[in-house]
Amino acid sequence: MKPYLAAAVQMTSLPDLHHNLAQATDLIELAVRRGAELISLPENFAFLGDETAKIAQADVIGSESEKFLKTMAQRFQITILGGGYPVPAGEGKVYNTALLVGPDGQELARYHKVHLFDVELPDGNIYHESGIVLAGTEIPSVFVSSEFGNLGISVCYDVRFPEFYRALSKAGANVLFVPAAFTAFTGKDHWQVLLQARAIENTAYVIAPAQTGYHNSRRQSHGHALIVDPWGVVLADASIEPGVAVAAIEPSRLKQVRGQMPCLNHRVF
């Protein structure tokens, strides 16, 4: 693992695939100009809108998303994570899929989101992700990279389940991705503290790209794409406008924190 710059991209995705991919291209290019070698896109980066429309277009969204990630990786010679896009799963449902791609355009890791967001919020919004999404059944394998460390992948609502990240850390993960489309209502109270908790308890870097702003008349995302260090310090925050959070991932810092606070070695259960 070498020192490098990572970027968490922040978008306002709409129910318009080509608009979203154009926006993502601009933000990836911005991150590359700032020196980022490992770049991550948020959940629903390719499409965020009516679920019926998503299902109707799932074949196109899925294939175009995968093609886009591979093209971006090769064009800019980066490693990139696309944080959540629909992949048809049969019977009118999709997997919410995250894909990690290397600079040669080859797939490095794939994950189907296992925890689905089925909640009724006090602001009146109701989310029923399982209505169209088929849950994955496996914690993803950690991708081991001599350049970027041991990469663990999750998606959005997963962040509320600490056992998921403990399993990743037990498998060796020291850099955790949490691409998200966190709601504005829950995000203001829970987003940052959950990310810091996952970083602290696993003494790992957390890279969390995010959606922000209004996607339609009712759905609003919290923003604040973050990169958090293993001590829980927020290194970069994209605030509430589309943009990028860029920060250094330092193996020496990881070693320092794990040496000073060796929690992972003190586990009893």
Active site residues: 43, 113, 156
Selection from 157, 180, 150 nearest residue 264 by Cα: 150
CB-based contact 42:84 (threshold 8 Å):
yes
Q: Which long-range contacts (CB under 8 A, 24 or more apart) does 28-31 make?
A: 28/72, 28/76, 28/78, 28/80, 29/76, 30/243, 30/244, 31/7, 31/244, 31/246
Secondary structure (3-state) at 96? strand
Cβ-Cβ contacts under 8 Å for 22 (sequence gap 6 or more): none
Burial of residue 15 (number of CB atoms within 10 Å: 0-12, 13-18, 19+): middle
Q: How far is CA 265 from CA 144, 198, 201, in A?
A: 20, 16, 12
Helix 17-33 and helix 58-76: axis angle, to 10°? 20
Three-state DSSP at 46 gives coil
- Torsion (CA) 159, 145, 258, 269 in degrees, nearest 10: 60
Q: Tokens 């991209």 identify what position?
A: 9
